[in-house]
Structure 1
């Protein structure tokens, strides 16, 4: 590879790389450096990443490549107002959850990989490390390992521990270190263990430090030669070097402490303007937020603006989550989930924009269409189920599924909105997710575990979805005592499911049985996967058969009577023709 040099007013870096794999089967490492354009360069910096899976992993190459690409793509998609630590850790938590969940569907392999990512911005470097990849710093004659080795010995083999995708939760090493002009950072993998000594690294790099690609090639050649001497078969090596050529003369301002320096917008009314956005209508005012329908004066677009409530301007924890809402929704690509829109002008206040849906809430639709058919209601239920599935695929919990958060446009398209309580899945029983949902307020469709301080998860969303569908089909709630009013686990015994067929005889027994299971007060007894519940929302095959088959064949008795009639006619004809 050719040496890549980036010159910027804030930071100048040189990059070199080299990789050698005697056999494609041993290709399990991945590395990359991304130097973005402004303004991302100023607020997010330069990222260098290296990843490595194990040789016994059948999808080692995919695991390494995916972790590197995933980090770089998602890190530079985080809000500009997040600081580097917040951005990187949020991305790694999300990436870990996805890798862990996907590994369960792979036979003979997994998306487990060690990963080290370093972000260079201003006069500081931020290192995020998991597993056993190696990061060294060469400063003058001092050669220091910055990363920690997380390994486990099993049967004579050393396996990485605390690696990406290994567990539902993840522990990330974080180091912030000041930069000095001339600093060299070396990224490599555990495969180099037993080949090169610290003095070898220094000597090979210093032979011609002006050409980093050549230095990486020398490291590869020497490591390969040492491996062959020791009888290592098929060893693959990769090296990545970054050199700090120039530091900024003055330290640039940090682009925000989680929520940035942007102020919370004041109370707005119809006709007010903010950042080129004219308020057309106030859609919602709650204790936590304000929602407005706005018109982009410059772009001509109709959008929805969501901003924190002015009285919450000093509640930093909520403002941190407010910006998280925008990021998590940007990760979801589904026609059934509201989309975040880019502003046409720089923002001077704290808010985010979403596509405007010309429609009505599900609660209003149900009041206006009391005679809607079962087929129409099931179609809405299926679309809503697909919206929840889209969130779960990105390891997100919605936590606020109820009729007022579901929109239906003029074409019957369902869109799930309001992500005030939406959070990434976590490995601590989702304690923080549960606390956020309770802070924002539980509804009559919330699962019992929220009121009882039990663990919450995807099946909690399943309950809320099933409760909303039950209400859509019957106009009632499945339990006389709303679960969000429970005071203790003994109250669970008072929850007695009311069959949906009592309120709506059109609901078939199979669908009623599925609703009962999805609405079980005990989270563990609900459907293991949401897809299992959604299958039951299809229109019954028996009904479809009845609509397409002749009336005489719809009932078994009619069928056999028809056969007997035909045989009688044939018998009479055979008797007359004798």
Structure 2
């Protein structure tokens, strides 16, 4: 039986002496795929006492976070999704203040603290602003995991330095760590935590038994008994079970799907009629098919029968169509528009009537710069669509690019794609591994640093270079990298060495994109596309090109001659000295 993330939650809130509870708390414990892709979220907020509407702010913050976080893309990481939602919530709260009389007195506006935990896979993620607190319970202590964003003017006077709604922008603290089964976390507002300690928490847990709601009620009441006049809210979260390490990146319902049998043209399969075989490899069989219901052409990708027992391969296989259905770009291959119940395991994608970029390069051995720019720009737009979803394709090469008969460029083969939102909490290290073809892989992968969007930029620049020259910018040296020293020895061969008619600035643009250090490249694929179309002043400066870059062969010939002369001189000196 597959192990899953399971928790026990308890929560309780008591109003303070004023009678209006300005605290708000909530949690979402979804089941199934939502628990896997987004996790479990627990949140607490505390309105500031000087405002008559801060209870509205705290309620909006918690409700908005719990609703909107689960509406964000499944491909996003927790950090990106949560901070986007909190940023939007902060903007809304601040706008409410600016529309009211409180615009002249921010302390009476829509302002609150906010703290949340998101448990996803085997990781805990923390989001925090203000002075509510999150603790981890130990045998004899409460470990405070959040910082209080409170500025102290004196021993008796202080104010919140950061809070939701206080300004048009807000900085949200973020942290994450490996979870452990059995851990207990406490979320509390200041009306509770100022009067509680580890002994009180352990006593409440013992008295409440398995009922954490009762334990939370006992703690809120204990805070009141110890003198709290403020609203007191407590949430207790215990981690009961965690998924197994290195769990599948997506728990697709494939267990009941059969591996397809070998298929031949004109065969009927899952509502399709096969037309012809497009590609056969050790890992999959790809067929052109026609949908019997709509008459539309589609590409069916079937897993290899030889890999039917490889669970990781099968999980990755079904992931390709899942990714395609979540990316909307004319420059990324789409999943087939037809969705129907299945009895066999296969992937259905759109059919692109055209040729691969690899074939285009054979047909156009010396293309014009404008043609290359057009292809790079379309590839950049496709990659941007993936990057906005926190995905890395990781295998950008000419064979994985299609050009249809209208000239539209599409990125295909999403099987190696790394999805941040699915990888976190699972121990998936695919962004660190070399997943693509070596000649197009960025140097940082070879030394174990892993990749990011700048690595995809490197691969795109290699494609541009190869379209122009038919060669690789570092020859085969880049694919032989094993150590940082190997990286430092890479020497860029200028495009103009092969095609002197091309402009000098082109080498400056490509050399930057192909720099061995990702920090010294352009930082987004859109920057490379822009620089190829409208190079800035940094690329237009005339600079003498070193001989090793201008003509590597002549450089090494000259070096050899100099060394030979040096050897002859030294031998002559030795003879004279003898």
Where in structure 2 are the equivalents of 1:507-526 lying within 5 Å?
Answer: 507-526=502-521
Quote the residue 1:51 is aligned against: 43
Q: Which residue of 2 aligns with 1:152?
A: 145
SS at match of 1:537: helix
Aligned equivalents of 1:344, 1:367: Cα separation in 2: 37
Does the C-alpha gap of structure 1 residues 533 and 512 become closer, same or farther in structure 2, counting only changes over 3 Å?
A: same
Q: Could you tell me how far 1:29 is from its partner in structure 2? A: 5.5
Matches within 5 A, 1:89-108: 94-96=77-79, 98-99=81-82
Number of residue pairs matched? 447
Q: Give the aligned partner of residue 68 of structure 1.
A: 66
Match status 1:375 vs 2:370:
yes
Query: Residue 166 of structure 1 corresponds to which residue in structure 2?
Result: 174
Q: Distance in 2 between matches of 1:462 and 1:45?
A: 28
Alignment deviations for residues 330-379 of structure 1 (CA, whole Å, 9 cap, x no partner): 33222221122354431111122222222221122233345643222201
Shift of 1:323: 2.8
Matched, 1:115 2:117: yes
User: What is the aligned partner in structure 2 of residue 140 from structure 1?
Assistant: none
The answer to whether structure 1 residue 320 and structure 2 residue 318 are counterparts is no
Q: What pairs up with 1:202-221 in 2 under 5 angstroms?
A: none
1:465 aligns with 2:473: no
* Closer/same/farther in 2, CA of residues 473 and 349 from structure 1, 3 Å limit: same
Structure 2 equivalent of residue 387 of structure 1: 382
1:299: Cα distance to partner? 3.1
In the alignment, the residues of structure 1 paired with residue 394 and residue 400 of structure 2 have an alpha-carbon distance, to the nearest angstrom, of 11
Matched, 1:351 2:334: no
The match for 2:441 among 442, 446, 467 is: 446
Matches of 2:117 and 2:397, distance apart in 1: 39
Pick from 181, 188, 191 the counterpart of residue 190 of structure 1: 188
Q: Is residue 434–residue 453 contact of structure 1 (8 Å, CA) maintained in 2?
A: no
TM-score (norm 2): 0.60
Say if 1:61 and 1:520 are closer, same or farther in 2 by CA, change over 3 A: farther
Task: Kindly report the root-mean-square deviation, in angstroms, between the aligned alpha carbons of the 2 structures.
Answer: 5.8
**Paired residues of 1:112 and 1:165 also in contact (CA < 8 A):** no
Structure 2 Cα separation of the partners of residues 512 and 23 of structure 1:
71
Partner of 1:299: 294
CA distance in 2, matches of 1:442, 1:102: 37
Residues 510, 536 of structure 1: 8 Å contact kept = no
Residue in structure 2 matched with residue 504 of structure 1 by the alignment? 499
SS in 1 for 2:532: coil
Matches of 2:69 and 2:148, distance apart in 1: 32
Unaligned residue ranges in structure 2 (runs of 5+) = 1-10, 49-56, 95-110, 133-140, 151-161, 163-171, 237-249, 538-578
Distance 1:444 1:402 in 2: 9
Distance 1:259 1:360, change over 3 A: same
Pair 448,296 (structure 1): closer, same or farther in 2 beyond 3 Å: same
**How far is the alpha carbon of 1:99 from its aligned partner?**
4.7
In the TM superposition, 1:11-50 aligns within 5 A as 31=27, 49-50=41-42
Deviation at 1:518, TM superposition (A): 1.6
In structure 1, C-alpha distance between the alignment counterparts of 2:515 and 2:61, rounded to whole Å: 37
Measured in 2, the distance between the counterparts of 1:335 and 1:535 equals: 19
Q: Show the counterpart of 1:182.
A: none
Q: Among residues 404, 415, 438, which one is paired with 1:420 in the alignment?
A: 415
Are 2:435 and 1:433 equivalent residues in the alignment? no
| Cα gap change, 1:349 to 1:277, in 2 (>3 Å) | same
- In 2, Cα distance between equivalents of 1:399 and 1:23: 57
| 1:132–1:150 contact (8 Å) kept in structure 2 | no
* Distance of 1:286 and 1:231 partners within structure 2: 71
Deviations 1:513-559 (A, max 9, x none): 121122122344333444433321224599xxxxxxxxxxxxxxxxx
